[in-house]
Amino acid sequence: MPQDVLSVGLVVADHVCAPVDHLPAAGELVTTSDMILSIGGGASNVAVDLRKMNCSVAIAAAVGDDAFGRIVRDMLAEQGVDVSHLRVLPSRPTSQTLIVNVRGQDRRFIHLIGAYGEYRAEDIPLEAARQAKVLYVGYFLLMPALTAEGLIPVFEEVRRAGVRVVVDIAIGGPGDHAAKLERLLPYVDVFTPNQDEAAVILGERDPVKQAEAFHRMGAGTAIITMGQNGSVLVSRDVRLKAGSYPVEFVDGSGGGDAFCAGYIYGLIKRLPPEECLKIASALGASCVRAIGTTPGVFTEAECLDFLRRHTLPLERF
């Protein structure tokens, strides 16, 4: 059956600890109040978040033929995500991330690339993509086999069918990122990097200048996310600065993915950019209230109730 969204990218088994007081020294044991195994990766996080918002979602990604692959597949299916396009690669392990949270500090990650390292644009199920309302590609630039050259014909075909293309990125460090984006962004409707990623790519810290640069590269709408400092949106017709909703911060894992899911929800509902940004900001804020990438994310009813009771600082510029 056609889905609202086809979510492409990473499926990761995340091992997440509750915040500890300090990182252990060599040979030291530090205890935590909680430790969970959860789904991670842009494709899976966005898929689960959208299911919570009552959108139908299929996922297109790769896992290994191992216990973690079976666990994340079952977790996704339990959330109502269509996993029929989830490839199993016997030759590679399922991707995993160890996420260490220390109070008052940013998260630390230890990551195994695994199966997603072999996922290519040619593996994207075109018929499912053409029938969706939104094609989301998460963590582009982190997936070595998913190239701009491979994605461009996919994006061209689905956009001819009226599908909106949303791309988010993750980067492991410096590289030829700008050149790759200059080729890809003219085929992207919404691009959602965070401020730190944009600074590595552009050598520019100002979020307005970052959004303007990505829009000039071709992105229909460029959104720079800044966590608790809000976001900036630049498109041909609209320029917006948004603050953030005040919530108790527990774990930042998945906050950017929840923001993307909220914006995609607005696109599916054909809402204007201001309303999309409010929903995206609310969903992103809800995520950081709990440990893990998806447990704290609002349901649709919770999100709409939250929006009725809270106002997002928002201005045109």
The predicted pLDDT at position 279 comes to 98
Alpha-carbon distance of 247 to 289, in angstroms, equals 7
The predicted pLDDT at position 172 comes to 81
164-169 and 190-191 strand pairing: parallel
Q: Convert the chain into a string of H (helix), E (strand) and C (coil).
A: CCCCEEEECCCEEEEEECCECCCCCCCCCCCCCCEEEEEECHHHHHHHHHHHCCCCEEEEEEEECCHHHHHHHHHHHHCCCEEEEEEEECCCCCEEEEEECECCCCCEEEEECHHHHHCCHHHCCHHHHHHCCEEEEEEECCCCCCCHHHHHHHHHHHHHCCCEEEEEECCCCCCCHHHHHHHHHHHCCEECCEHHHHHHHHCCCCHHHHHHHHHHHCCCEEEEECHHHCEEEEECCCEEEECCCCCCCCCCCCHHHHHHHHHHHHHHCCCCHHHHHHHHHHHHHHHCCCCCCCCCCCCHHHHHHHHHHCCCCEEEC
Q: Which pLDDT tens digit goes with each residue over 70-129?
A: 999 999 999 999 999 999 999 999 999 998 999 988 889 899 999 999 999 999 999 999
Q: What is the pTM of this model?
A: 0.93
The predicted pLDDT at position 196 comes to 95
5-21+33-316 adopts what CATH topology? UDP-N-acetylmuramoyl-L-alanine:D-glutamate ligase (3.40.1190)
Regions of the chain short of the pLDDT cut 50: none
The predicted pLDDT at position 106 comes to 84
The predicted pLDDT at position 253 comes to 84
